[in-house]
Amino acid sequence: MASVMVDSANYRVDREIKYTLYDVANGKKTAVGGSIVSPLEGGGAKGCCLALPMKWHSGIKLQVEWGEADRQQIFTEKYIKELEIPRYEKPADLYVVFYPEHEVEVVVSVAEPGHPEWAGRIKQSPWNQCVADFGRKVCKRATPKAGLSLEELQGFCTYLKEENFELTTCDAALRECIYNYEDEELCKRTAWGARKK
Protein backbone atom coordinates (compact mmCIF):
# COMPACT_ATOMS: atom_id res chain seq x y z
CA MET A 1 0.00 0.00 0.00
CA ALA A 2 1.04 3.61 -0.57
CA SER A 3 -0.10 6.62 1.40
CA VAL A 4 -1.35 9.43 -0.88
CA MET A 5 -2.78 12.90 -0.30
CA VAL A 6 -6.43 13.80 -0.94
CA ASP A 7 -7.16 16.98 -2.90
CA SER A 8 -10.06 18.44 -4.87
CA ALA A 9 -11.01 20.60 -7.84
CA ASN A 10 -14.23 22.46 -8.58
CA TYR A 11 -15.14 23.20 -12.19
CA ARG A 12 -18.33 24.96 -11.11
CA VAL A 13 -18.49 28.70 -11.57
CA ASP A 14 -21.64 29.09 -9.49
CA ARG A 15 -21.28 26.85 -6.41
CA GLU A 16 -18.98 26.27 -3.49
CA ILE A 17 -18.80 22.62 -2.40
CA LYS A 18 -18.41 21.19 1.10
CA TYR A 19 -17.65 17.49 0.93
CA THR A 20 -16.52 14.47 2.92
CA LEU A 21 -14.78 11.50 1.31
CA TYR A 22 -15.27 8.02 2.79
CA ASP A 23 -13.46 4.75 2.24
CA VAL A 24 -16.24 2.15 1.99
CA ALA A 25 -14.04 -0.93 1.61
CA ASN A 26 -14.82 -4.04 3.64
CA GLY A 27 -18.33 -2.80 4.41
CA LYS A 28 -17.02 -0.05 6.74
CA LYS A 29 -17.43 3.69 6.18
CA THR A 30 -14.32 5.61 7.26
CA ALA A 31 -13.77 9.33 6.58
CA VAL A 32 -10.50 9.82 4.68
CA GLY A 33 -10.79 13.41 3.47
CA GLY A 34 -12.93 16.43 2.89
CA SER A 35 -12.84 20.15 2.39
CA ILE A 36 -14.69 23.27 1.35
CA VAL A 37 -13.86 23.94 -2.30
CA SER A 38 -14.48 27.42 -3.71
CA PRO A 39 -15.76 27.93 -7.26
CA LEU A 40 -13.00 27.33 -9.83
CA GLU A 41 -10.55 26.08 -7.22
CA GLY A 42 -8.16 23.62 -8.78
CA GLY A 43 -5.98 21.71 -6.40
CA GLY A 44 -3.42 22.71 -3.83
CA ALA A 45 -5.45 22.12 -0.64
CA LYS A 46 -4.05 18.68 0.04
CA GLY A 47 -5.12 16.69 3.08
CA CYS A 48 -3.72 13.50 4.51
CA CYS A 49 -4.13 10.56 3.79
CA LEU A 50 -5.51 7.64 1.87
CA ALA A 51 -3.89 4.23 1.34
CA LEU A 52 -3.91 2.96 -2.25
CA PRO A 53 -2.61 -0.40 -3.42
CA MET A 54 0.73 -0.23 -5.23
CA LYS A 55 -0.94 -2.07 -8.09
CA TRP A 56 -4.45 -1.02 -9.12
CA HIS A 57 -7.25 -3.55 -9.04
CA SER A 58 -10.96 -3.20 -9.63
CA GLY A 59 -13.36 -2.74 -6.76
CA ILE A 60 -11.59 0.03 -4.80
CA LYS A 61 -14.59 2.14 -3.79
CA LEU A 62 -15.04 5.52 -2.18
CA GLN A 63 -18.15 7.47 -1.28
CA VAL A 64 -18.45 11.24 -1.67
CA GLU A 65 -21.08 13.16 0.30
CA TRP A 66 -21.46 16.85 -0.42
CA GLY A 67 -23.58 19.96 -0.14
CA GLU A 68 -23.49 23.18 -2.14
CA ALA A 69 -23.77 26.91 -1.53
CA ASP A 70 -23.71 30.09 -3.57
CA ARG A 71 -23.20 33.68 -2.39
CA GLN A 72 -26.78 33.97 -1.14
CA GLN A 73 -27.58 30.64 0.46
CA ILE A 74 -26.57 27.19 1.58
CA PHE A 75 -28.70 24.69 -0.29
CA THR A 76 -30.43 22.00 1.77
CA GLU A 77 -29.96 19.21 -0.79
CA LYS A 78 -27.28 16.67 0.07
CA TYR A 79 -25.67 14.45 -2.54
CA ILE A 80 -24.09 11.02 -2.11
CA LYS A 81 -22.26 9.09 -4.78
CA GLU A 82 -20.25 5.88 -4.58
CA LEU A 83 -17.35 5.79 -7.02
CA GLU A 84 -14.80 3.21 -8.04
CA ILE A 85 -11.23 4.47 -8.27
CA PRO A 86 -10.23 4.41 -11.94
CA ARG A 87 -7.19 2.53 -13.22
CA TYR A 88 -3.81 4.06 -12.41
CA GLU A 89 -0.27 3.01 -13.26
CA LYS A 90 1.21 3.99 -9.91
CA PRO A 91 -0.30 5.41 -6.71
CA ALA A 92 -0.54 9.22 -6.68
CA ASP A 93 -2.68 11.92 -5.09
CA LEU A 94 -6.41 11.29 -5.24
CA TYR A 95 -8.58 14.20 -6.40
CA VAL A 96 -12.30 14.61 -5.87
CA VAL A 97 -13.44 16.60 -8.91
CA PHE A 98 -16.77 18.44 -9.07
CA TYR A 99 -18.53 19.42 -12.30
CA PRO A 100 -21.79 21.23 -13.16
CA GLU A 101 -25.08 19.35 -12.75
CA HIS A 102 -23.93 17.71 -9.48
CA GLU A 103 -21.41 15.46 -11.25
CA VAL A 104 -18.37 14.19 -9.36
CA GLU A 105 -15.47 11.88 -10.12
CA VAL A 106 -12.33 10.69 -8.39
CA VAL A 107 -9.01 10.87 -10.21
CA VAL A 108 -5.60 9.49 -9.25
CA SER A 109 -3.03 11.87 -10.71
CA VAL A 110 0.64 12.75 -10.31
CA ALA A 111 -0.17 16.35 -11.32
CA GLU A 112 -2.79 19.00 -10.55
CA PRO A 113 -5.48 20.22 -12.97
CA GLY A 114 -4.01 22.14 -15.88
CA HIS A 115 -0.66 20.37 -15.82
CA PRO A 116 0.14 18.28 -18.94
CA GLU A 117 0.18 15.11 -16.80
CA TRP A 118 -3.21 15.78 -15.17
CA ALA A 119 -5.32 12.61 -15.45
CA GLY A 120 -8.78 14.25 -15.20
CA ARG A 121 -11.25 14.33 -18.08
CA ILE A 122 -11.00 18.13 -18.49
CA LYS A 123 -7.34 18.90 -19.11
CA GLN A 124 -7.38 22.62 -18.34
CA SER A 125 -7.45 24.07 -14.82
CA PRO A 126 -10.91 25.09 -13.58
CA TRP A 127 -10.00 28.79 -14.09
CA ASN A 128 -8.76 28.33 -17.67
CA GLN A 129 -11.72 26.11 -18.57
CA CYS A 130 -14.10 28.75 -17.20
CA VAL A 131 -12.42 31.51 -19.22
CA ALA A 132 -12.62 29.35 -22.36
CA ASP A 133 -16.33 28.61 -21.75
CA PHE A 134 -17.64 31.89 -20.32
CA GLY A 135 -15.02 34.63 -20.61
CA ARG A 136 -12.80 36.29 -18.04
CA LYS A 137 -15.38 38.66 -16.51
CA VAL A 138 -17.84 35.89 -15.63
CA CYS A 139 -15.06 33.84 -14.06
CA LYS A 140 -13.66 36.78 -12.07
CA ARG A 141 -17.12 37.47 -10.61
CA ALA A 142 -17.19 33.89 -9.31
CA THR A 143 -13.88 34.04 -7.46
CA PRO A 144 -13.24 35.80 -4.15
CA LYS A 145 -11.78 39.27 -4.49
CA ALA A 146 -8.49 40.12 -2.85
CA GLY A 147 -7.82 43.49 -1.24
CA LEU A 148 -10.31 46.18 -0.26
CA SER A 149 -13.93 46.18 -1.39
CA LEU A 150 -15.12 49.26 -3.27
CA GLU A 151 -16.81 50.45 -0.08
CA GLU A 152 -13.57 50.05 1.92
CA LEU A 153 -11.58 51.72 -0.87
CA GLN A 154 -13.75 54.86 -0.80
CA GLY A 155 -11.39 57.78 -0.13
CA PHE A 156 -8.54 55.48 0.92
CA CYS A 157 -5.82 57.25 -1.12
CA THR A 158 -7.22 60.67 -0.23
CA TYR A 159 -6.94 59.75 3.46
CA LEU A 160 -3.35 58.49 3.10
CA LYS A 161 -2.27 61.68 1.31
CA GLU A 162 -4.02 64.02 3.78
CA GLU A 163 -2.40 62.18 6.72
CA ASN A 164 1.06 62.24 5.05
CA PHE A 165 1.36 58.46 4.81
CA GLU A 166 3.39 56.70 2.11
CA LEU A 167 1.30 56.23 -1.02
CA THR A 168 2.74 52.78 -1.79
CA THR A 169 -0.23 51.26 0.07
CA CYS A 170 -2.56 53.32 -2.12
CA ASP A 171 -0.79 52.06 -5.25
CA ALA A 172 -1.13 48.44 -4.09
CA ALA A 173 -4.84 48.91 -3.30
CA LEU A 174 -5.42 50.46 -6.73
CA ARG A 175 -3.64 47.56 -8.48
CA GLU A 176 -5.83 45.03 -6.61
CA CYS A 177 -8.99 47.00 -7.43
CA ILE A 178 -8.11 47.26 -11.13
CA TYR A 179 -7.37 43.55 -11.23
CA ASN A 180 -10.63 42.67 -9.46
CA TYR A 181 -12.99 45.05 -11.26
CA GLU A 182 -11.16 45.63 -14.57
CA ASP A 183 -12.16 49.30 -14.42
CA GLU A 184 -9.25 51.66 -13.76
CA GLU A 185 -11.35 54.83 -13.79
CA LEU A 186 -13.84 53.43 -11.25
CA CYS A 187 -11.01 52.40 -8.93
CA LYS A 188 -9.19 55.75 -9.15
CA ARG A 189 -12.40 57.73 -8.71
CA THR A 190 -13.30 55.65 -5.64
CA ALA A 191 -9.85 55.67 -4.01
CA TRP A 192 -9.21 59.36 -4.60
CA GLY A 193 -12.79 60.40 -3.82
CA ALA A 194 -14.14 61.96 -0.67
CA ARG A 195 -12.91 60.38 2.56
CA LYS A 196 -15.25 57.86 4.08
CA LYS A 197 -16.74 59.22 7.31
Residues 32-45 as b or e (16 or more Cβ within 10 Å = b): bbbbebbbbbbbee
What's the one-letter identity of residue 59? G
pTM score = 0.76
pLDDT: which is higher, 139 or 53: 53
Q: What percent of the chain has pLDDT over 90?
A: 69
Closest CA to 36 of 2, 74, 90: 74
Q: Residue 178: is its pLDDT beyond 80?
A: yes
CA distance 171 to 156: 10
Q: What percent of the chain has pLDDT over 70?
A: 97
Q: 9-40, pLDDT tens digit by residue?
A: 999 999 999 999 999 987 889 999 999 999 99
- Domain edges within the chain: 2-141, 145-191
pLDDT: which is higher, 7 or 47: 7
Checking 175-180 for CB contacts under 8 A at 24+ apart, the result is: 176/146, 176/147, 176/148, 177/147, 177/148, 177/150, 177/153, 179/146, 180/140, 180/145, 180/146, 180/147
Q: Coil, strand, or helix at residue 43?
A: coil
pLDDT score for 44: 65
- What is the overall mean pLDDT for the chain? 90
CA distance 5 to 52: 10
pLDDT score for 42: 85
pLDDT score for 10: 96
Q: Residue 96: is its pLDDT beyond 90?
A: yes
- DSSP code, position 29: -
pLDDT, average across residues 75-90: 96
Secondary-structure class of domain 2-141 per CATH: mainly beta
CA distance 96 to 75: 20
Q: 101-155, pLDDT tens digit by residue?
A: 999 999 999 999 999 999 999 999 999 999 999 988 888 877 766 778 888 899 9
Quick check: 35 and 8 in contact, CB under 8 A? yes
Quick check: 118 and 109 in contact, CB under 8 A? yes
pLDDT score for 177: 87
CB atoms under 10 Å from CB of 178, counted, come to: 15
